[in-house]
Structure 1
Amino acid sequence: MTDFAPDRVLVPELGRPRADEALAYALETFPDAEIVLLAVVTPLDAPLSEGGVLERHEERTAEARASATELLESAADSAATDRVRIETVEGRPGTVVPRYAANEGIDHVVMIGSGTGSDGFLRRFLGRGIAGTVVERTSRPVTVLG
């Protein structure tokens, strides 16, 4: 446990492997905090967009929300998940996560770091991973799980 007791913790859900670890960490480490599971829909023109098939905005947003809901439902402690609220936002994760944290009264951010999914070795090597960008751009404390 930690002495730091945030009221609101943000867990970005970027459609990546191991997102469940970030949610589990937030639930366990901050047992009294409200957890915001933020489903981020990356624009199709962004370099990290999820495919070549153009989908309608509404479908992509619904899929991101469904992915976050599935992640929440798979959380081990269902009593703790009562503290979790799912929000959906569209944009580049390195921009929208810090903006959401600042505008919505978030006290702490918990996320998976570089080296997972499409945020692999080259991005980590070049220092352009999403987690690094979030750390750089937000004034809130960020816990990055490796």
Structure 2
Amino acid sequence: MTDSAHVLVPTLGRPREDEALAYALETFPDAEITLLAVVTPLEAPLSEGGVLERSEERTTEARANAEELLEPVADPSAADRVRIETVEGRPGTVVPRYASEEAIDHVVMYGSGRGSTGFLRRFLGRGIAATVVERTARPVTVLE
């Protein structure tokens, strides 16, 4: 799996996204990594953290959250391979589009498990990770 040249790690402001970044850095030691801070638009049913703030403030906060994921990376050369981008939109739409437009070779994300099986799936619908997997024409690794 180490042959990917450009890996995308979407961040949605959820717990354990640092694990997705750590996995991408370790599994793809020569790849460029893009942390894509996704800001859910206010008209979407849910926004990260349930806080409805002005778009500019939310974009700044999403970028800051992504930057925090880099803090525990001990190896400076690994951190140098990571760039941060922000995009506004529904994650199930913007992640696959970004992956296609930016010639991403692999997507790594943490799946919350919400909506993935049984009771939750029937009542809450499918999760973001499942939507990204279905809509992305690149390999997607979902960590649980």
Please report the TM-score for the alignment, with normalisation by the length of structure 1.
0.88
Label 1:108 to 1:51 Cα distance change in 2 as closer, same or farther (>3 A): closer
Q: Paired residue for 1:124?
A: 116
Aligned CA-pair RMSD: 1.5
Q: Contact 1:20–1:75 at 8 Å: present in 2 too?
A: no
Runs of 4+ in 1 over 2 A off after TM superposition: 50-54, 74-79
Between the aligned residues of both structures, percent identity stands at: 78
Aligned-partner SS, 2:10: strand
Q: Paired residue for 1:30?
A: 28
**Which segments of 5 or more consecutive residues in structure 2 lack a partner in the other structure?**
none
| In structure 2, C-alpha distance between the alignment counterparts of 1:52 and 1:6, rounded to whole Å | 35
Alpha-carbon shift at residue 75 of structure 1 (Å): 2.3
Q: Paired residue for 2:104?
A: 106
List aligned pairs for 1:64-103, cutoff 5 A.
64-103=62-101
Query: For residues 31-60 of structure 1, what are the alpha-carbon distances to aligned partners after superposition, in whole Å with 9 as ceiling and x for unaligned?
Result: 000000000001122223135654221111
Aligned-partner SS, 1:32: coil
Aligned residue type for 1:38: L
Aligned residue type for 2:70: L
Aligned length: 138
List aligned pairs for 1:37-76, cutoff 5 A.
37-50=35-48, 53-76=51-74
Alpha-carbon shift at residue 113 of structure 1 (Å): 1.3
**Which segments of 5 or more consecutive residues in structure 1 lack a partner in the other structure?**
none
